[in-house]
């Protein structure tokens, strides 16, 4: 029995040494490491209904695009872990609007993981007005609340018309500062969401009224900060 015990100990020691040498990590440990590294996980979709010669056409927006007055847009967000997601709109006139969260205080009272959020709510869509020019949507996600950005936006919303321009520029400057501070965390992963065993999110068009933005969502994961800007050339 002693000989068998000695051989077993020697074998176990050899396996441990080999694993350490080859830097092999068990599958469960790799999954745990990935989860720890990805403090930000959320699903996102940006859909549009564009007026074309063939009639209204639904299209998923994945990059900068051109749109016309009368076209419609809608967003979908589903937060998967305890991170904080923001969607801020800047009009062609420089006006700012917070599209998500609906209100900042919602993050403390009504901010739930795995809940479906549509912007605007329900079946409504935003429609591009007659003011043409460059419009931007700033999508931000952070492992911690962005209190400085929230404060600047709150000041902007409560300011009079004269002060709004300067405060709006400060808010956009804060977004740029956050990007610069987190430049080393720029890497992120993006994948289509699996719906009933099928990969969705690659289809570009579908008849209006037969789509749900959740079906076209992509899941984004990042370490502690994520940002992306979508620019619309409103013609």
What pLDDT digit, counting tens, does each position of 147-177 carry?
999 999 999 999 998 999 999 999 999 999 9
Same domain as 104, residue 143 = yes
- Taking residues 205-227, report their average pLDDT: 78
Same domain as 165, residue 100 = yes
The 10 Å CB-count burial string (b at 16+, else e) for 153-186 is bebbeeeeeeebeebbeebbebbeebbeebeebe
Same domain as 44, residue 16 = no
Q: Where in the sequence is the domain holding 14, given as residue range(s)?
A: 2-31
Same domain as 151, residue 63 = yes
Same domain as 52, residue 139 = yes
Confidence (pLDDT) at 164: 92
Q: What's the structural domain count of the chain?
A: 2
pTM given for the model? 0.76
Q: How confident is the model at residue 103 (pLDDT cuts 50, 70, 90)?
A: confident
DSSP β-ladder status, 218-222 and 188-192: antiparallel
Same domain as 116, residue 25 = no
Same domain as 72, residue 45 = yes
Alpha-carbon span 214 to 26, nearest angstrom:
34
- Taking residues 214-232, report their average pLDDT: 94
Alpha-carbon span 44 to 60, nearest angstrom:
11
Q: How confident is the model at residue 212 (pLDDT cuts 50, 70, 90)?
A: confident
Same domain as 130, residue 18 = no
Sign of CA dihedral 59, 61, 66, 68: positive
Q: What is the Cα 1 distance to its own chain's centre?
A: 60
Other beta carbons within 10 Å of 90? 20
Same domain as 116, residue 9 = no
Same domain as 62, residue 164 = yes
Same domain as 168, residue 134 = yes
pLDDT of 85 above 70: yes
Same domain as 218, residue 138 = yes
Task: Locate 209 and state its tokens.
Answer: 């009224």
Task: Calculate the average pLDDT of the chain.
Answer: 79
């Amino acid at each position: 029995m002693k000989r068998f015990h000695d051989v077993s100990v020697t074998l176990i020691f050899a396996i441990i040494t080999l694993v350490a040498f080859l830097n092999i990590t068990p599958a469960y440990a790799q999954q745990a490491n990935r989860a720890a590294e990805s403090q930000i996980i959320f699903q996102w979709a940006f859909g549009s209904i564009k007026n074309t010669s063939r009639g209204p056409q639904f299209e998923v927006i994945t990059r900068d695009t051109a749109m016309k007055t009368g076209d419609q847009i809608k967003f979908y967000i589903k937060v998967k872990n305890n991170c904080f997601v923001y969607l801020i709109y800047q009009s062609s006139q420089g006006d700012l609007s917070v599209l998500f969260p609906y209100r900042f205080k919602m993050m403390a009272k009504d901010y739930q993981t795995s809940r479906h959020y549509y912007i605007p709510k329900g079946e409504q869509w935003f429609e591009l007005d007659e003011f043409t020019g460059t419009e931007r949507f700033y999508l931000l996600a952070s492992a911690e609340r962005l209190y400085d950005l929230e404060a600047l936006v709150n000041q902007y919303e409560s300011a009079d018309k004269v002060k709004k321009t300067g405060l709006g520029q400060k808010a956009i400057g804060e977004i740029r500062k956050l990007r610069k501070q987190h430049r080393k965390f720029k890497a992120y992963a993006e994948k289509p969401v699996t719906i009933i065993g099928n990969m969705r999110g690659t289809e570009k068009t579908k008849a209006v009224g037969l789509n749900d933005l959740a079906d076209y969502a992509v899941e984004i994961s990042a370490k502690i900060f994520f940002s992306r800007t979508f620019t619309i050339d409103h013609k």
